[in-house]
Amino acid sequence: MLVLGIESSCDETSAAVVSDGARILSNVVASQIALHRPYGGVVPELASRHHLELINTVVTDALREASVTLDQIEGVAATCGPGLASSLLIGLTFGKSLALARNLPFIGINHMEAHLISPWLSAGRAFEPNVSLIVSGGHTMLVHVRAIGDHTVLGQTTDDAAGEAFDKVSKLLGLGYPGGPEVEKAAHGGNPAAIPFPRGKLNDPDFDFSFSGIKTSVLYWLRKHPESKIQNPKSKIVSDLCASFQQAVVDVLVGKAIAAALAMRVRFVTVSGGVACNGALRDLLAAACRRNNLELLMADRKLCTDNAGMIAGLGWHKLHAGLRTPLDLDAQPNLQLR
């Protein structure tokens, strides 16, 4: 079954085609990062306008890259939430309209549930029970996934998401947008033990996270050391600060993910979301999994950030299982994963 997937929940316009077994044939992502950079964050009105301008081309490119025609598509999947209402509407309406016009089965996809399967799509492996860490700009959560469509959220952030903390620290330092890659770059060569930033909730028995405390600690540290703000990103003081901040965030993410995997007695830990592009997180999580005899599946970087490959992949599984969504499905900006 050939499934076309569409994603437009935030600032990436994306379309993908998967074939039987959710094998990705194409995964086209048009990023709007450059468009939003001057504003230091995503401007919803600009995002939706650009989704509208890009969606036709992105879908056409996805079909061409997959070497298939629209006539061959047998099902359509589109993100219905969570995300920005005006952005979600573009991809969802496009997907529903296409399904109606072509008389194709349609499925609305929870974007967070799609993140859960992206590491398996990357690895091309059959799904197994796991604990999944989703770390992005909007979410930080640990999920016990027993099977596709059968999962329990173990914990999530009670304030800022991990990516949001990277973005805010980058802004405090004037390093640029999006903050994660900039902070990671600045952290190269820095001493991760230079500043003992707090590891929020690391030793709590639950699986929730908190990253607003560490961001505030960075702010206070900068007030005490105003000279660091005017240094260039390659200076020792800025690289030590970034390395120490990154290490504190990664320690919490790794510590909680391992604790959750051991508590749920699963063999696999998986990770996806934009922050999963971070090299320190990838290295330290891999080392911690090895120490604890856990297998780690990390989504490829392209499948970590928002993309339609994971939407089409989850859509394929759901459509294949006979699930369908009525075409009056509305965008659900606050859709939760339970």
CB of 163 to ligand KG4, least distance (A): 3
Contact between 179 and ligand KG4 (CB under 6 A)? yes
Q: Please identify, among the stretches 132-140, 147-155, 203-211, 313-321, the one whose residues bind ligand KG4 according to the rule CB under 6 A.
A: 132-140
Residue from 94, 106, 120, 166 touching ligand KG4 (CB under 6 A): that is 166
Pairing verdict, β 106-110 and 268-272 = unpaired
Contact between 278 and ligand KG4 (CB under 6 A)? yes
> Taking Cα atoms as reference points, which of 122, 105, 101, 85 lies closest to residue 8?
85
Pair 329, 96: CB distance under 8 Å: yes
Give the phi and the psi of residue 186 in degrees, each rounded to 5.
Answer: -65, -25
Contact between 180 and ligand KG4 (CB under 6 A)? yes
Question: Which 3 state secondary structure label does DSSP give 178?
Answer: coil
Contact between 233 and ligand KG4 (CB under 6 A)? no
Using CA atoms in the order 72, 5, 1, 314, what is the torsion angle rounded to 10 degrees?
180
Pair 157, 139: CB distance under 8 Å: yes
Strand partners, 4: 17, 76
Cβ proximity to ligand KG4: between 73 and 156 the closer is 156
Residue with tokens 């799904």: 127
303 to 322, contacts with ligand KG4 by CB under 6 A?
A: 305-306
Q: How many residues bind Zn ion (CB under 5 A)?
A: 2
Contact between 306 and Zn ion (CB under 5 A)? yes
Contact characters 44-63, Zn ion, x per CB under 5 A: --------------------
Q: Please identify, among the stretches 16-24, 150-158, 162-170, 220-228, the one whose residues bind ligand KG4 according to the rule CB under 6 A.
A: 162-170
CA distances to 16, 67, 89, 193, 307 from 30, rounded to whole Å, are 12, 19, 17, 38, 9
- The angle formed by the CA atoms of residues 317, 144 and 246, to the nearest 5 degrees, is 110
Length of the chain counted residue by residue = 338
Cβ proximity to Zn ion: between 111 and 201 the closer is 111
CB of 115 to Zn ion, least distance (A): 6
98 to 137, contacts with Zn ion by CB under 5 A?
A: 136
Q: H helices then E strands: how many in the chain? A: 11, 10
> Taking Cα atoms as reference points, which of 75, 141, 62 lies closest to residue 104?
75
Q: How many residues bind ligand KG4 (CB under 6 A)?
A: 19
Residue with tokens 């702010």: 219
Contact between 181 and ligand KG4 (CB under 6 A)? yes
Burial of 234 (0-12, 13-18, 19+ CB in 10 A): exposed
Residue from 17, 238, 264, 275 touching ligand KG4 (CB under 6 A): that is 275
Q: Please identify, among the stretches 70-78, 189-197, 271-279, 322-330, the one whose residues bind ligand KG4 according to the rule CB under 6 A.
A: 271-279
Cβ proximity to ligand KG4: between 301 and 324 the closer is 301
Contact between 277 and ligand KG4 (CB under 6 A)? yes
Give the DSSP H/E element, type plus range, for residue 123: helix 111-123
Which residues are near ligand KG4 by CB under 6 A? 10, 136-138, 163, 166-167, 178-181, 184, 273-275, 277-278, 305-306
Query: Given the rule CB under 5 A, which residues bind Zn ion?
Result: 136, 306
